[in-house]
Amino acid sequence: MATATLIPVVVRDRKGVVWEGQARAVSAINARGAFDVLPVHANFITILKKKLVLHKTDGSKEEMNLDNGVMWVLANKIEVYVGVSK
């Protein structure tokens, strides 16, 4: 079994890349509630609501408020497409 400690993440909006890099985890909210995606997570796709939190490699967190978004987790990579409201 793989034991990765980081997961590559790309967050995009209509204008382009909002954030790209390695993360320890990503937290978000969907219709069922809050959830976390960790390295070597199962593949899935979901509609996001309210916010997205990137847990960065230096231990800091970056929160993004969302109107809506889609998260795609595939082969230990996360792609997020959002309507970001700041």
Q: What is the dihedral of CA 52, 54, 55, 56, to 10 degrees?
A: -170
Does the pLDDT of residue 62 top 60, yes or no?
A: yes
> Residue 4: pLDDT band by 50, 70, 90 thresholds?
confident
Query: What's the whole-model pTM score?
Result: 0.87
Residue 47: predicted pLDDT: 95
Q: Say which range, 5-9, 65-69, 70-74, has the weakest mean pLDDT.
A: 65-69
For 3, 8, 50, 51, 75, the CA distances from 39, given in Å and listed in that order, are 8, 9, 23, 20, 10
Residue 29: DSSP 8-state: E
> Residue 1: pLDDT band by 50, 70, 90 thresholds?
very low
Give CA angle at 69 (30, 56), nearest 5°. Answer: 85
Cα(49)–Cα(41) distance, integer angstroms: 20
- Structural domain boundaries in the chain: 7-84
Does the pLDDT of residue 84 top 60, yes or no?
A: no
7-84 CATH choice from 3.20.20.140, 3.90.1150.10, 2.40.128.20, 2.60.15.10:
2.60.15.10
